[in-house]
Structure 1
Amino acid sequence: MLKTQGLQTLEQIRAFLEGSQPLGFEALPRDSAYDFIARTLRQFGYAQLGKADKGLLRSYLCKVTGLSRAQMTRLIAQFRHAGRIQDRRGTPSPSVHTPLHPRGCRSPGRGGRPCTVPFPVPPTRKLCTRAYTVFGDARFVRLAGISNGHLYNLRQSKTYQRHRGTVDKTRPVKVPIGERRKPRPEGRPGFLRVDSVHQGDLDGIKGLYHINLVDEVTQFQFIGSVERTSERFLLPILEALLTAFPFTILGFHTDNGSEYINRQVAGLLRKLHIQEFTKSRARRSNDNALVESKNGSVVRKHLGYAHIPSRFAQRVNQFTQNILSPYLNFHRPCFFPTKVVDAKGRVRKRYPYTTMMTPYDYY
């Protein structure tokens, strides 16, 4: 028998749960436990309690009856709905949805076939309700009051899965422009890494874009600025930057941005007799790491993160091409890697201070 008659206030229950008031109890049979729960809820006026006090009383009932929190939630809901708690085990559910056939819960497609991609459950439920209540279709008499949970259960059944049809996953679009691989310069200059840096938007005013080109071996770098990355603005600046390098361009590597992966840029590269046009691979963040690092250490370092309106693109471009780019190539030292074989035979790259020099000195 539960020995909790001495707990008459919420403060006593709180002390009992905290363990400061020892109290022995024995678990009752299920029917007696249900009666005890109903009496306790009625005694403390559960419906009028605040959220914290309800949680306190719920924890107390779980502890003294040994029921789980989910079970207690269902029993409390039953008490609030019917004013009592009864054992419903072995009683068939009164739901009218049990005999429904899963094939009746699909949305029809063209030609009477089920849709390859089913409707979300709430819209399906709403459609069934409207079919019966608004349009008077007697075929939806049982579906009119179906619950979301029952629809989910029916859709998980094997019968529904067999009759719903074939699901066509999204098919990726293959763009034949550019080869998806990492460049292999093999110590030869002329393999460029390319990326765009956006100077941000502010209050609906578009910011300009910086075009950053870096040679992988010599680290020669040229930067230009454009108002937009559309072909009208991008192609002239891109051609000017490509022809500014003091050596023959052999490769052009970029990420998968549409400003570079298009037929106009591919035509420009063919016009300049650039042999390789490559783009980064999926889940290979290091493919374009060199220019990404230059975006932060050079572009952001000298031009910042603040918004620059696109109307200043021409003036900023004069600075980036005529002042910033010559400074980077002839006066700003860069670290150059040296390859070292470790004890396990793996090739490691080191960047010693002694190999630091300007791109012009390296070239």
Structure 2
Amino acid sequence: MQTLMNLDNLTSIDQLADFLSGTQTVAFSVLSSPAARYEWVQKTLVRFRYPTLSRADQGVVIRVLVKVSGYSRQQITRLIAQYRTSGAVRRRQRTVAGFTPKYSPADIGLLAAMDERHDTPSGPAVKKLCERALLVFGQTEYERLAQISVSHLYNLRKSVPYTRKRRHFAKTRPRQIPIGERRKPVPNGRPGYIRVDTVHQGDLDGKKGVYHVNAVDEVTQFEVVCTVEKISEYYLIPMLEYLLETFPFTLRGFHSDNGSEYINKRVAELLEKLFIAFTKSRSRQSNDNALAESKNGAVVRKVFGYSHIPSRFAHRIHLFNQEVLNPYVNYHRPCFFPETYTDAKGRERKRYRYEAMMTPYDKLKSLPGAEAYLKPGLSFAILDQVAYALSDNQAADRLQKARHKLFHTIHEQNLKSG
């Protein structure tokens, strides 16, 4: 049977080795105070006559001292060196006072008061004010602050004594997003510069309705309306690809407001791939996207109204747009086209002459060299087949019939689901 021994009863190196290997059961208590640990280390070194031991036996003693004392090997090595030199292991209590603060709480209070009365100017301005307070106006309490470095002045503003006296809250600054150029497009009479806006079809009981994406060419007023369930990238990017492909002429510009559905990297990458310039509305220029917004009311709201339409009907509405609404708007719905003139005071004005009213398709055909603007593979002979397949009245009747059927279906399915 193995004997339970006390740590102080270990008198040989072999017993220490057995203790380290776990073959000898030893009872010992962990020494709590540093003074007691130092005293035990010295007694152990004396008991085993550490300086007279071989190198291997000294290693055994060191491992025991590390295990029992809890000190690192480096610390035990330093204590042994102290024992070799002086014959004793003594704890040297040393309390470091640290750096004496140069700026007192009173100085920091003066700084907080200075910031308060001058509305937190820049660091150099505060330093200059402290210098003037001392040198010009003889306020000696600013002597230390007059010599402060600007960088350390900002450190004092973050200190606890400062924040206890004064807290400064700055308004969140808008973050500039380097996507799109903030300017008004200049088409110079060429088609292909479209204005894009989003129309939301209302909320009901916390549920979002469908979103209409409305794109209008600035010169010809050629318009494409698409409908999506949500304006997230998953739905919007494929729809934008379809929208850009639907226009019969080559696109050169894409202008939107500052909504995040368009001002994002995915849209920018899509337009860059197609070599389409990306512009966005300027601040305090409410007319930058006025054309698309006017079409929202004149076309989208007239057809779909303002009532909530659940998002699950987005695909059905998009088919209606594709097959009925877009052909009617572009080939059968006349629009006013403004003429710009300069009045007697030298200001530019717009007039809307009845003689200049025509459909977007007729406007496209009336442009000088219009055939050159069409996409490769398209011609006016092909587009004429679409434009003149139905009369204006037939296209309008078709639109009303399809819209009535669409809303009847939406109403019936809402009744079944509700």
TM-score norm. by structure 2 comes to 0.49
- Give deviations 1:253-275, integer Å, cap 9, x for gaps: 0000000000000111122221x
Structure-1 residue corresponding to 2:265: 263
Structure-1 separation of matches of 2:201 and 2:252: 29
Structure 1, unmatched stretches of 5+, are 1-100, 119-162
2:282 matches 1:281: yes
Deviation string, structure 1 residues 293-351 (Cα, Å, up to 9, x no partner): 00011100111111100000000000112210110000000000112222223221101
- Cα RMSD between the aligned structures? 2.3
> Which residue number corresponds to residue 253 of structure 1?
255
The answer as to 2:336 corresponding to 1:335 is: yes
The residue aligned with 2:325 is 324
Structure 1: how far apart are the matches of 2:169 and 2:315? 51
The one-letter amino acid paired with 1:340 is Y
Q: Partners in 2 of 1:164 and 1:341 — Cα distance? A: 58
Q: Secondary structure at the match of 2:176?
A: coil
Change beyond 3 A, Cα 1:350–1:113: farther
- Identify if the C-alpha distance between structure 1 residues 308 and 343 changes in structure 2 by more than 3 Å, giving closer, same or farther: same
1:293 corresponding residue in structure 2: 294
Q: 2:162 aligns to what?
A: 114
Q: Equivalent residue for 2:202?
A: 200
Aligned positions of 1:86-97 closer than 5 A: none
Whether 1:304 aligns to 2:352 is no
TM-score by length of 1: 0.56
Q: Specify the alignment match of 2:217 in structure 1.
A: 215
Q: How many residues align?
A: 214
What is the Cα deviation at residue 110 of structure 1? 5.5
Residue type matched to 2:262 in 1? Answer: Y
Q: Which residue of 2 aligns with 1:10?
A: none
Deviation, structure 1 residue 184: 0.8
Measured in 2, the distance between the counterparts of 1:305 and 1:165 equals 47
**Other-structure match for 1:50:** none
Amino acid paired to 1:346 = R
Mapped partners of 2:307, 2:358: distance in 1: 30
Output the CA distance in 1 between the equivalents of 2:212 and 2:168.
47
Aligned mates of 1:224, 1:310 — CA distance in 2: 13
| Alignment deviations for residues 55-97 of structure 1 (CA, whole Å, 9 cap, x no partner) | xxxxxxxxxxxxxxxxxxxxxxxxxxxxxxxxxxxxxxxxxxx
Bigger Rg, structure 1 or 2:
2
Mapping for residues 164-243 of structure 1, pairs under 5 Å: 164=166, 168-243=170-245
1: CA distance, partners of 2:239 / 2:322: 10
Cα distance in 2 for partners of 1:197, 1:283 equals 21
Looking at structure 1, the residues matched to 305 and 171 of structure 2 have their Cα atoms a distance apart, in angstroms, of 43
Once residues 251 and 218 of structure 1 are traced to their aligned partners in structure 2, the CA distance between those partners, rounded to angstroms, is 14
CA shift digits 1:161-191 (9 cap, x unpaired): xx74766443220100001111111111111
- What displacement does 1:206 show? 1.7
- The amino acid that maps onto 2:313 is F
How many angstroms does 1:282 deviate by? 0.8
List gaps (5 residues or longer) in structure 2. 1-108, 117-155, 365-418
Q: 1-side partners of 2:171 and 2:351: how far apart?
A: 45
Q: Distance in 1 between matches of 2:205 and 2:251?
A: 40
Distance 1:231 1:308 in 2: 21
Write the distance in 1 (CA, Å) between the matches of 2:246 and 2:310.
26
In structure 2, C-alpha distance between the alignment counterparts of 1:277 and 1:294, rounded to whole Å: 21
SS of the residue aligned with 2:341? strand
Identical-residue share of aligned pairs (%): 62
Pick the structure with more helix per residue.
Answer: 2
Partner SS, residue 176 of structure 1:
coil
The equivalent residue for 1:344 is 345
Paired residue type of 1:285: S
User: Shift of residue 113 of structure 1?
Assistant: 4.7
Alignment partner of 1:285: what SS? Answer: coil
Q: Tell me how far apart the structure 1 counterparts of residues 173 and 205 of structure 2 sit (CA, whole Å).
A: 37
Aligned match of 2:61:
none
Question: d(CA) in 2 for partners of 1:294 and 1:188?
Answer: 20
Q: 1:164 to 1:240 in 2, by over 3 A?
A: same
- Aligned residue for 2:363? 362
Distance 1:221 1:109, change over 3 A: same
For residues 327 and 293 of structure 1, what CA distance do their matches in structure 2 show? 18
Q: Distance in 1 between matches of 2:313 and 2:170?
A: 48
Amino acid at match of 1:361: D
Amino acid at match of 2:220: T
Cα distance, 1:111 vs. partner?
3.0
Specify the SS of the correspondent of 2:207.
coil
* SS of equivalent residue, structure 1 residue 324: helix
